[in-house]
Every structure is written in C-alpha cells, then in structure tokens.
Amino acid sequence: MSDVKITKEVVQRIAHLARLELSEAEVAKFAGQLQDILGAIEILAEVDTEGVKPTAQVTGLTNIFEEDKVIDFVEDKKRLLDNVDGEVIDNQVVVPSVFNS
C-alpha cells in the first residue's frame, strides 16, 4: 500500500480548495476511495515500461485546423449584452466573485 496516508484532514483540505461542503460520512468515504486510487497508481508505477513507446492517442487521426478569420463582433456583442440576465457595466458582464477577500 501507499506510504502516503489520506487522512480526514487531507480530504477536508481538498474539499475546501474545491469549495465543497462534505459531511463526515462523505469525508470518510472519500478518504478510503483516494487511498485506493493511490494504491492503484503504485501498482501501475511498478510496471516495466522500458522500451515501450509513449502513446498519446490510438486512433491514428490527426488534428484538422481551420484558418483563423477576423470577424466583426460588434453586432453579436451588442445582442449578447442585451440578452444578459444580470448586470452589465461598461460592456462587461458582472459575475459573482470567486475569491475570498
């Protein structure tokens, strides 16, 4: 098993950073699940991959890019701002703060 121990405090810290409110039962449940995930990662880390080429994708498809085009956004922007269900100041949509002061 992993040398890293997922404690109640670790789960609570992760939940705080993700702005999640968890019950004590959820904290205990997620601690166990995260510990299991770390165990699975340790098993994968033991696999000998010497000589195995890295794989980024397996479909053989390639990206197709479209040429950039400059378009006049004035009318679309006006229509967009006219349909905002909230406050608009200086042609910018006001949204709730995501950072604590």
Does position 9 have pLDDT exceeding 90, yes or no?
yes
What are the pLDDT digits (tens) for 46-97?
A: 999 999 988 888 888 888 899 998 877 777 788 888 888 889 999 899 998 8
Which residues are registered as beta bridge partners of 92?
89
- Which pTM was predicted? 0.53
> Which residue in 48, 61, 45 sits closest to 4, CA to CA?
45
Within 8 A by CB and 6+ apart from 5, the residues are 35
DSSP three-state, residue 17: helix
Sorting pLDDT into bands at 50, 70 and 90, what band is 2? low
Does position 30 have pLDDT exceeding 60, yes or no?
yes
Does position 1 have pLDDT exceeding 60, yes or no?
no
Topology at the third CATH level for domain 8-45 = Histone, subunit A (1.10.20)
Structure tokens at 82: 């006219």
The whole-angstrom separation of Cα 15 and Cα 35 is: 15
